[in-house]
Amino acid sequence: MRQRNNRSLRGALLGWVLAAQCGLACASEAPPRFHVAVPHGTLTFVVYGDTRFTQRERLADAAARRALVARIAAENPAAIFVGGDLVYQGDDPQDYATYRSETAEWARREIPVFPALGNHEFRKCEPERDDSPCLENWWRAFEALPLRPHRWYSVALGDSLRALVLDSDSPLKPGSGQRAWFERELSAADSDKRVSFILILLHYPPVRDPIFPPGRDEAQVERYLSSRALTLHARVIVIGSHVHNYERFERHGVPYLVSGGGGATPLPVLRMAGELSRLRTSVNFHYLRFTLQGERLTGTMVRYEATGAADNPWSEPDRFEISSR
């Protein structure tokens, strides 16, 4: 009964705050700022990407995807962040219907989901140079937030963590609208002394195995943070997906993670160029569990073994900690 009451209270508070925040933001045509009220004590949230919800065969491991979804629901996190490629084909409403069907337990538990745009959110919209049908499907899938007409936004988890959710397919170079917003939001979060951690979520990872070619402007994020992060009061952590595996790096005091093991067809990585996890498994379906307790943020890679060879398919082969300054 207590857990159910907590979920109802969280849902009510979240719904009220989202409506209030968007009312202010949308009135000024600025990207929305969402707030998730969290109880005192330990805060747990989940981040992962490349889930590829679809009924199409051989484009994703549906069994692994559903296993991860169920395990995440059992965690009952305060929020779930999805780093893009939520669906396989962005112009197909049926892929979003698959997402809603397979994550019904998330909705029943009233766990808020915050998505970033990935390249598959625009799949089949590129040839016509008109991304509006794909964006409309994405906005409709998350009308409870709401996001329309914006493609990037921010989220506060309680008072101590701020998340900036970016769009890798929109410009991030200096002078662009997204870049100006990003710099303002980063400074605003850092000026709030209650904020100890800033999470930056985008689809194309700024730091990753060099075997994979760059996307669009994601390198701009690392370039900016290399000169800015060490001067900030808050600690910064950057998470991308796109590469269907797991990687962890650090540059200039900033952890950079790749979390693309949500169900899409696995891709191998070389684990060179300073990769820190040293995993020896080539297939890594997984999600990231973050636990914020006091001034310490702990990240855990929760891995699912999809072969059925292990009695217990779940393991936690990589773990790291970030302390506030």
Indicate the pLDDT class of residue 127, thresholds 50, 70 and 90: low
Mean pLDDT across the chain: 91
pLDDT in tens, 13-34: 454 345 434 443 443 589 999 9
Q: Provide the edge-to-edge strand list for the sheet that holds 254-259.
A: 33-36, 153-157, 161-165, 197-201, 235-240, 254-259, 246-251
- Give the residue from 69, 81, 55, 77 showing the smallest Cα distance to 203: 81
Say whether 269 sits in a helix, a strand or coil: coil
Which CATH number does 2-323 carry? 3.60.21.10
pTM: 0.92
Percent of the chain clearing pLDDT 90 (strictly above): 82
Classify the phi-psi angles of 224: left when phi > 0, otherwise alpha if psi is within -120 to 50, otherwise beta: alpha
Strands 314-323 and 296-304: antiparallel
pLDDT in tens, 79-106: 999 999 999 999 999 999 999 999 999 9
Tokens 């065969």 label which residue?
57
pLDDT in tens, 42-51: 899 999 999 9
pLDDT of residue 212: 87
Compute CA distances 268 → 53, 163, 208, 279, whole Å: 21, 29, 12, 11
